[in-house]
Copies of this chain bind each other. A is one copy, B any other.
Amino acid sequence: MGRYNPDSAEIIRRVALKPVSIGLLGLGTVGGGTVKVLKRNAFEITRRAGREIQIVAAAARNLKHPRQCDTTGMRLTMNPFEIVADPEVDIVVELIGGLAPAKELVLKALDAGKHVVTANKMLIALHGNEIFAKAQERGLMVAFEAAVAGGIPIIKAVREGLAGNTVEWLAGIINGTCNFILSEMREKGRDFAEALAEAQALGYAEADPSFDVEGIDAAHKLTILASTAFGIPLQFDKVYVEGIRGITALDVSYAEALGYRIKLLGIARRTGEGIELRVHPTLIPARRLIANVEGVMNAVLVKGDAVGPTLYYGAGAGAEPTASAVVADIIDVVRTLTSDPENRVPHLAFQPGAISDIPVLPMEAVETAYYLRLSAEDKPGVLADVARILADHRISIEAVIQKEPRHGETQLPVILLTHRVRERELNQALRRIEALPTVGGPVKRIRLEPLG
């Protein structure tokens, strides 16, 4: 960049008066990415922040492990507690993940008067209320953009960009592993197990993939998004969570035939009675932009009452996309170092004294549409029986696919799309349908959202 006049060194000298010192906890994938991005983009970052940002110390599990990143100029230690107590450190960046010792480290960093940047969604979703209360008390910042949807600046968008809106609902593809698996299933006709094996081979899924495929990771992120959107406390335990293990190639192809795609969505919605918080596989119209988000990419659709629908798309994981969010947070915190705590953007977007206790609804109180697949005997009157039960529960049918029996088959798949109904009503109807002598086994149910 030395071609420009004034040159880089002169610009740095001119704008960067007070360097800021970072203590980094964790030199794994995201930690290494953060080191790389801070070094490679030092010039652009300093031009923006007006400060040089230096990592003065870093903690790693194993100092002999070969590093992907250049750690020149950093004191390296295997004891992260040294770093949170280091008087030279202005901002602690926690990239260890998990609850222990991350939670203790973050609390100790706050006790030591340091601002914190973290990418730890589990920590924020589970212990954020406690962490933010302590930070608030001490007049410190805890920034966590990287905890949700990797490099997409979605926390900032919801917390600041849409601050003039009453958020009506949001729906996000916030787990790249599940989105990759569902994309593979649709594009290649694969079943879940095959697509999961492919994700594991490519490093998109862990050896034990439960955390991702069972929806827990998405639920952590949804918990955080919902608090910043609605001004409610973090309530991970109130999120309804259903993963994608039960989705079959058959469901994916029926959904497609009906004009829908199946995505694992995290959905938060404000209703007259409370807040819905739910993670589950969802049929969404194939023509929606978010239905076309494929592979490991993430996207979040946010509906504000003034702005209407807005969508944010990008890489939801990976070393440098996550580092992009970590560094943006560091720059934000650098700007608040000297600001009046009262005028800062609140941790969860809403003032701590203004958090609302609007209830989170149980799943039975949620209203949504449904895709139902059942196996019925090839006899006249079966569909009429099913339709009558649905009608008894005031559930209207939007579409039906009934397959012709192939040679020798006596059980036929029947696919129904319903209009919106309360889950409690649907459950009652399904119990009756499953009790019909002509219906074999349980009814497969996938929720459907128009997102329009």
CB closest chain-B residue, reference A273: B3
C-alpha gap A334/B342 in the complex (Å): 11
Q: Does A28 contact B (CB under 8 A)?
A: no
The answer to whether the Cβ of A247 comes within 8 Å of any Cβ in the partner chain is no
Mark out the residues of chain A between 313 and 343 whose CB falls within 8 Å of any chain B CB in the assembled complex.
Answer: 313-315, 320-321, 323-328, 330-332, 334-340, 342-343
Provide the A297-319 mask, 1 if CB < 8 A to any CB of B, else 0: 00100001111111111110000
Determine whether A429 belongs to the interface, using a CB cutoff of 8 Å to chain B. no
Residue among A44, A163, A289, A305 with max Cβ neighbours from chain B (10 Å): A163
Contact for A313 among B14, B41, B289, B357, CB less than 8 A: B289
Q: Judging by beta carbons under 8 Å apart, are B157 and A157 in contact?
A: yes
Chain A: interface residue count, which band?
35 or more
CB of A152 closer than 8 Å to a CB of B: yes
Q: Is A48 an interface residue (CB 8 A)?
A: yes
A30: min CB distance to chain B, Å:
12
Whether B162 contacts A153 by the Cβ 8 Å rule is: yes
Q: Which B residue's beta carbon lies closest to that of A304?
A: B324
CB-CB < 8 A to A176: which residues of B?
none
User: Which of A38, A166, A345, A356 lies at the interface centre, i.e. has the most chain B CB atoms within 10 A of its CB?
Assistant: A356
Known contacts A312-B312, A324-B164, A356-B4; is A350 also within 8 Å of B47 by CB?
A: yes
User: In the complex, are the beta carbons of B231 and A164 less than 8 A apart?
Assistant: no
1-45 of chain A: CB within 8 A of chain B: 1, 3-5, 11, 14-15, 33, 37-38, 40-41, 44-45
Interchain residue pairs A-B with the least CB separation, the first 6: A153-B161, A164-B327, A151-B307, A310-B314, A307-B324, A47-B354
A-B contact pairs, 16 of them (CB 8 A): A3-B358, A14-B353, A14-B354, A153-B160, A153-B161, A156-B156, A160-B332, A164-B324, A164-B326, A164-B330, A289-B293, A304-B324, A306-B321, A308-B314, A336-B343, A338-B340
